[in-house]
Structure 1
Amino acid sequence: MFNPSQDDVRRFFCETYRKHRAGEILTPLEAIASDWLAQHPEYDDDLKDVDAALGADYSVENGQTNPFLHLSMHLSIAEQISIDQPPGIRAAATALTQRLQSEHEAHHHIMECLGEMIWNSQRSGLPPDGAAYIDCVRKRV
């Protein structure tokens, strides 16, 4: 999933949820996603019906968290940590996890930094600043 559409992402998480509940074999990526799904039972209703998920509007104006964006960020951060890209994210995430004594809470802090980096990149028209991202995470340690 290198450049998935919104619908692709929603289908992926709904199918992962379905396969996990049915006890089916998961791909390695689905297994990682499934671990994050298990930590967010509040999203179960959003994941049960793929057609409803495809049509759902999670705009800021509706005041809802977009479960698919949230889960995608968990998955992205897990991948970044696993390959240490950008360089330094693994050490920064490990230190933050140790301080908070929770990988999940550390991910939520890292999400804020990731979101800030993406927002700054979009606003400036420049590539994402990995060094600023790592600095943001380190400041939370």
Structure 2
Amino acid sequence: MVITFTYTDKGIDTLTKRLNKELSDLSKPLKDVAVYMKEEVMENFEQEGRPKGWPALADSTIEKKKKVKGVSGQILEFHGKLKQSINLRSDKSEASVFSGVFYGVYHQTGTRKMPQRAFMPYSDSDGIPPFDTKGIENIKDILLEHLTRACD
């Protein structure tokens, strides 16, 4: 014997429909997540690596920078093209941040002659924002805020 109980509440039905609509297209909250991630990557540049800091520049690199007019003294910034190339992309199901210059990968991963200076988080990163514990919580908060607004 099967007993079925059905309860219908117009308010709950309306809320369920709104939530389903919000969850089917997350482009607005994911845009905010992408903006947050880009801000965190830019902060990695400002602090010259987080949480531990990037390895210092070689003396030869420091001397080279001194000889060129208009060059930044910061690590990973010569003329600023790498930093300026950091961009974001988002759609209804994904948010991403990326470098628009080919040589970004060499700084990110390092080479035989150049130490790794990761400016973006990666799978083996040691708590590089925005994917450290605090950053993940901030991303969750962004998503939760959008869903909460959908319920209001």
Q: Whose radius of gyration is greater, 1 or 2?
A: 2
TM-score by length of 2: 0.27
What TM-score results when the alignment is normalised by the length of structure 1? Answer: 0.28
Question: Which one has more relative contact order, counting CA pairs under 8 Å at least 6 apart?
Answer: 2
